[in-house]
Amino acid sequence: MANAQLKEDIIAYSKLIGIDKIGFASADPFVSLKSRLETQQELGYQSGFEKGTIQERTEPQLTLPEAKSIISIALAYPSKLNNAPRSKKGERRGLFCRASWGEDYHHILRRKLKMLEEFIAQKVPGEKCVSMVDTGELSDRAAAERAGIGWSGKNCAIITPEFGSYVYLGEMITTLDIPPDIPLEDQCGTCNKCVEACPTGALVQGGQLDSNKCIAFLTQTKDFLPEQYRQKLGNRLYGCDTCQVVCPVNKGKDTHHHPEMEPDHEVVKPKLIPLLKISNREFKEKFGPISGSWRGKKPIQRNAIIALAHFKEEDAVPELNDLLETDPRPVIRGTAAWAIGKIDTKESYSMLMKAKEREKDKNVQIEIEKGLEMLENNLI
Ligand code: SF4
Ligand code: SF4
């Protein structure tokens, strides 16, 4: 019974420090997750950003040998940009996904977990625990599902009845033996909205994600974005929220419990043209504090170029041509060439022809050809 009391004390403390939801689970191996991950690996659905081996991700005892329980926490984040500046002709804007608004959530959750660890250490000296957020060995979602935080939706997000899927997750593996909570029942039922709304068909067999098709993953890659996904990118600079936005459980869910998660409009919905030539220092100052900058400047700039092409933003063409002429990065030069062709102003053709004479990089040459081809097709 002592541990039931301890559980109550931990729950009370978690509320005190602003944890929106907490759940407890056994630290037994995640057997079904293991076979799911193995299938994903066989099918080539993984993103390559996963940490550790499948065994490490599904066996808590490999991280903490005497582990008995997992404590899973959830913090709800805002979903609405109230009074955000409009994206208009000449001043088009891109968008960072909701999970990257405000201070990098890894820091916020780690602070909460640290406080929880200290509380537990005071109560039960000598207990061991290992905390993690996102980049840890364990799957945050599997831990949250088992601990009754939410069910695993067909959109692969953990859906809480209280806050929808707009929650950040973190967990602690501990040697404490705490009575577990009961997992929630899957409440997706016959709904299939997320699967139908996904722009790239990345949600396969409900509850499986092909990361290589997922825009959220693709926005984070550093190479050329495969052409079939460029149109689908829209104005997304980082991440994709479509399968969350369409989820009926998320309707009206917009939690503002944590001031540090409040978005700065100019950061999360920035003007696109100034991004094209932003210096490393400016980028770090402006975007460094948000999680969406973790892959650095290049993918964001590449995505900004694609977003400008999506809007057919004619004012951007001189800047794009500057990039095509002088940027040392082939991905940026090539994507700029493609965008110049796509936007199709009266200067586009001569810009691309000059680049064709000058350009030595094979991949950039291919993009110049694609740009010229678009221009020629437009003439027909
Ligand atoms: Fe599809 Fe976007 Fe969801 Fe990825 S994040 S599964 S691309 S809707
Ligand atoms: Fe489940 Fe429907 Fe939400 Fe998809 S949109 S996660 S199927 S409730």
User: Tens digit of pLDDT for each residue in 27-82?
Assistant: 999 988 888 888 878 777 777 776 778 888 889 999 999 999 999 999 999 999 98
Residue 134 clears pLDDT 70, i.e. is over it: yes
Q: Which of 208, 214, 229 to mutate to test the pocket of ligand 1 (most atoms within 8 A of CB)?
A: 214
Residue nearest ligand 2's atom 3 by CA: 247
Nearest atom (ligand 1) to Cα of 201: 1
Distance in Å, CA 190 to ligand 2 centroid: 9
Q: What is the pairing mode between strands 95-96 and 236-238?
A: parallel
DSSP 103: S
Please tell me the residue having the least CA distance from ligand 2 atom 6: 153
Q: Which of 130, 145, 174 is the last residue of a domain?
A: 174
Q: Is 14 left (phi over 0), alpha (psi -120 to 50) or beta?
A: alpha
pLDDT at residue 2 above 70?
A: no
CA distance 364 to 224: 10
Closest Cα partner for 208 from 253, 153, 277? 153
Q: Collect all residues with Cβ–Cβ distance below 8 Å to 12 and sequence separation of at least 6.
A: none
Residue 155: band (very low, low, confident or very high) from pLDDT cuts 50, 70, 90:
very high
Q: Which structure tokens are listed for 343?
A: 């936007």
Q: Where are the alpha helices (DSSP H) in 125-205?
A: 140-146, 193-197
- Going from the C-alpha of 267 to that of each of 15, 80, 134, 238, the distances in angstroms are 30, 15, 23, 12
Boundary-marking domain end, from 125, 147, 174: 174
169 and 215 belong to one structural domain? no
- Do 202 and 348 share a structural domain? yes
Whether 161 and 28 share a structural domain = yes
pLDDT band at 1 (very low <50, low <70, confident <90, very high): very low
Ligand located closest to 200 CA: 1
pLDDT band with cut points at 50, 70 and 90 for residue 204 = confident
Q: Which ligand is nearest to the CA of 159?
A: 2
Same structural domain for residues 74 and 8? yes
Mean pLDDT of 140-149: 96
d(CA 69, CA 174): 5
| 203 plus 168 within the same structural domain | no
Q: Is the CB–ligand 1 distance for residue 233 below 6 Å?
A: no
Going by CA atoms, what residue is nearest to atom 1 of ligand 2? 188
From the list 210, 44, 63, 209, the residue with the least C-alpha distance to 143 is 63
CA of 340 to the centre of ligand 2 (A): 38
Separation of alpha carbons 353 and 75, rounded Å: 53
> Could you tell me if the CB of 215 is within 6 A of ligand 1?
yes
The CA-atom distances, in angstroms, between 93 and each of 84, 221, 238, 318 are 11, 21, 13, 18
Query: Does residue 337 carry a pLDDT above 60?
Result: yes
Reply yes or no on whether the pLDDT at 206 is more than 60: yes
Alpha-carbon gap, residue 181 to 26, rounded angstroms = 9
Instruction: Give catalytic residue positions.
Output: 134
Could you identify the atom of ligand 1 that is nearest to the CA of residue 156? 6
How confident is the model over 244-257, as pLDDT tens digits? 999 999 999 999 99
Residue 157: φ, ψ to 5°: -100, 155
Question: Same structural domain for residues 322 and 198?
Answer: yes
Poorest-pLDDT segment among 58-62, 128-132, 212-216, 261-265: 58-62
Q: What mean pLDDT is reported for the chain?
A: 94
Short-list 377, 375, 365, CA closest to 341: 375
Q: Are residues 223 and 323 in the same domain?
A: yes
As a whole-number percent, the residues of the chain with pLDDT over 90 amount to 86
Other beta carbons within 10 Å of 101: 23
pLDDT bracket for residue 267 (50, 70, 90) = very high
Enclosing domain of residue 263: 193-379
CATH of the domain at 204: 1.25.10
Mean pLDDT, to the nearest integer, of 221-239? Answer: 97
> How confident is residue 380, by pLDDT bands cut at 50, 70 and 90?
low
Total structural domains within the chain: 2
Residues 372 and 250 in one domain: yes
Measure 147 CA to ligand 2 centroid, in angstroms.
20
Instruction: State the Cα–Cα distance between residues 286 and 96, nearest whole angstrom.
Output: 13
Q: Are residues 145 and 226 in the same domain?
A: no
Q: Which residues line ligand 2 (CB under 6 A)?
A: 153-155, 159, 188, 191-194, 246-249
Q: Does residue 94 belong to any structural domain of this protein?
A: no
